[in-house]
Amino acid sequence: MFGFLNVYKPGGKTSHDVVAVLRHVTKIKQIGHTGTLDPFAEGVLPVCIGKATRLIEYLNDDKAYVATVQLGKSTTTYDLEGEIVSCSDKKVGLLEIEKALEQFYGEIEQLPPIYSAIKVNGKKLYEYARKGEEVEIKPRKVTIKELNIVSFDENSQKLELYVDCSKGTYIRSIANDLGNVLGVYGHLIKLVRVKAGNFLVENSVKLEELESKEQVLTNLIYPLEYLDYPKYELSELEKAKVANGNCLSVKCEDGLTLLTYGETLAAIAEIIDNRAVMRKVFL
């Protein structure tokens, strides 16, 4: 078994829980996911099975979410699972929110939540937080490609946003920072990942529908469909060379290229001056 699964992770389960379920169903140990979702979050979770786990680093990392922000309160974790630390009775309007969101477009510096898995001096930030220890958190550059208001209820001060962003963006931080900019505080109460690279929520399969190895096979995606690189079809002689890990002379542009044979993935190579150097071989 070799390929990708576009799994819809339900709320209440961790990304590791999803992998554990699929290992139990398929009896295959070589399974991994491509990007952690917080337990309360739901949505697209790309999963790699078999040798496809070697392709994780080559997948598109951009993400898109629909996030629900509750204005008026902030929490320790920047989401509904934390303790409330600040409150405001002030209510804001749609025009104020639209103006505030302008600060979050493009490349920005974002401070990750203290309750996150980012490591500082070998320890995860949430380990410092749980012990009440102080640690310096450095801002990180992220890119917000699209940030649109989906809906806003002025009475409840609930705001729904569509966010298309680069890898490493914390939607929780956007919720918290937006609340601070507006002067009313804010935290994330719902998060649905609707896109992870080429994996879209409308094409995902619910975890509870994957109850057998046959159902997993039915929904398996062959890697060539989701890898955004040029392709080069091998001859029989070239295939034999690739199988032995040898370099090839090819007329291709420099960069990563998918080497195929009979419409199957044979290898990933890096082209340097018309010379294909093998990076991953699947023959």
- Is residue 185 a contact partner of residue 72, using CB atoms and an 8 Å limit? yes
Catalytic residue among 17, 38, 79, 164: 38
State the amino acid at position 230 in one-letter form.
Answer: P
Smallest Cα–Cα separation from 18: which of 42, 1, 52?
A: 42
Q: Which residues, in sequence order, are CB contacts of 63 under 8 Å at separation 6+?
A: 35, 164, 165, 166, 167, 169, 193, 195, 196, 197
- The first and second tokens of residue 132, run together, are 């009440």
Residue 38 catalytic?
Answer: yes
- The first and second tokens of residue 232, run together, are 């080069």
Q: Per DSSP, which regions of the chain are E strands? A: 3-9, 31-33, 42-49, 63-71, 73-75, 84-87, 106-110, 119-120, 123-124, 140-153, 158-165, 186-196, 199-200, 205-206, 231-233, 248-249, 255-261, 264-272, 275-281
Q: Is 148 helix (H, G, I), strand (E, B) or coil?
A: strand
Residues forming the active site: 38
